[in-house]
Amino acid sequence: MINKIQKAKEYAESPERVTFHTLTMAFKGDNSDYIVSLGPDGWSCSCPGFQKYGICPHIMAVEKMFKPMLKRDPLPYSPGQNIVSDVKKSKRYSEEPERITITAFSATFHGDNKDHQITYDDGVWTSTSSFFKAHGVGAYTMAMERMLQGMVKPIMLPAATATETE
């Protein structure tokens, strides 16, 4: 387990190893809370700005925060959008990760030997790695938790495993 923890620390320093396929989060805006999501058809946000322009500071902030993990071009600015205000707000938002609570995602993690699929759904993690299947935790899920620290519920290590690492 100690080797997996060390590997997770190394993996967490390489966010480009991750490719998000889907991503859903609650985003605390200045005035209201919104749901931001990325799916097969692209981005969506429940805020009025996205409904009007197809882009908003919430998505712009998430694109900035998770850029190495998205593997997609940022949404383009829209005619009529208050670009200066939205860019300024998105920059501030991107520096405040406590605004985000990730509720679900699916991703590919590019490991040293092969790719693994990882999912997260309201605190429940899954991984295609054999170590995860045997132990309920692994280097890839621990690395993801480290990269998304504070935005996801912490991984609960089995009691025996936690004792072994102390």
pLDDT at site 130? 93
Number of domains in the chain: 1
Instruction: For residue 138, give the DSSP letter.
Output: -
Domain of residue 23: give its range: 1-166
Summarize pLDDT for 81-99 with one digit per residue, the tens: 999 999 999 999 999 999 9
Write 155-161 long-range contacts (CB < 8 A, 24+). 155/125, 161/1, 161/135, 161/137
* Vertex 28 angle, CA 104 and 54, to 5°: 75
124-127: strand order across its sheet? 42-45, 33-39, 18-28, 100-110, 115-121, 124-127
Quick one: how far is CA 39 from the chain centroid?
Answer: 13
| Res 16 pLDDT > 70 | yes
| Res 23 pLDDT > 80 | yes
Give the global pTM: 0.89
Q: Are 118 and 107 in contact (CB under 8 A)?
A: yes
pLDDT at site 154? 80
| Res 165 pLDDT > 60 | no
Task: Report the pLDDT averaged over residues 1-5.
Answer: 88
pLDDT at site 162? 43
Summarize pLDDT for 111-163 with one digit per residue, the tens: 998 999 999 999 999 999 999 999 999 999 999 999 999 999 987 765 544 43
pLDDT at site 51? 96
Q: What is the dihedral of CA 63, 65, 69, 73, to 10 degrees?
A: 20
| Weakest mean pLDDT among 1-5, 17-21, 107-111 | 1-5
**Alpha helices, DSSP H only, in the chain?**
2-12, 48-53, 57-65, 67-70, 83-94, 130-135, 139-147, 159-164
Summarize pLDDT for 51-75 with one digit per residue, the tens: 999 999 999 999 999 999 999 999 9
**pLDDT band at residue 1, thresholds of 50, 70 and 90?**
confident
pLDDT at site 159? 53
Residue 152 in tokens: 């996801």
